[in-house]
Amino acid sequence: MNHCLLGLSLFVLFSIAGAQEKAVTIQIKLVNGQTGNPMKNMQVGLEDGADYHEISLRTNESGIASLSTKSDAVILTHNTDEYVNCGDERGGLIHNDFKISQILSTGIVQLIEQPNLCSKTSSGAKPGVLVLFVRPWRFGEKI
């Protein structure tokens, strides 16, 4: 009887642990903050918040990249050689860490404080989608 109880307890424990590790998929949408158009075929500046390794993703023709990860993960966004985040323009630190659980439940639209060179920085939040407003670097701007 004790062996059955122990076996059942281990089964439940591993089932719960397995459910927490289940992969989920979110979408990351890059929007040109100057034009409102999607940023097509762009490398997404993205890192895993647990160990800071780069995650390699590119947007499609709609400016959307799909990411499969754990639901309890945190991702970090950053500028790339192709674009700067609209919130980074003023040299300040912007909120760039996002919980996958929040993206799944409510969606996130990154808030961008004005004034800056991006004027099209509003969108509605949609569960499962992280919206980032970015723009191409200007000549001589990137160090």
Residue 142 lies in a domain: no
pLDDT at 111: 85
Q: Is 79 inside any structural domain?
A: yes
The answer to whether position 105 is within a domain reads yes
pTM of the model: 0.81
Please report whether residue 13 resides in a domain: no
Q: Is residue 11 part of a domain?
A: no
Cα distance between residue 41 and residue 65, in whole Å: 9
Judge whether 17 lies within some domain: no
- What is the count of structural domains for the chain? 1
Q: Do 47 and 67 form a contact (C-beta atoms < 8 A)?
A: no
| 81, part of any domain | yes
The range of the structural domain enclosing residue 54 comes to 23-136
How does pLDDT run across 65-111, given as a tens digit for each residue?
Answer: 999 999 999 999 999 999 989 887 665 567 789 999 999 999 999 98
Phi, psi of 26 (to 5 degrees): -120, 165
Rounded to an integer, what distance in angstroms lies between the CA atom of residue 15 and that of residue 110? 35
- Share above pLDDT 90 across residues of the chain, in percent, rounded to a whole number: 58
Is 108 inside any structural domain?
A: yes
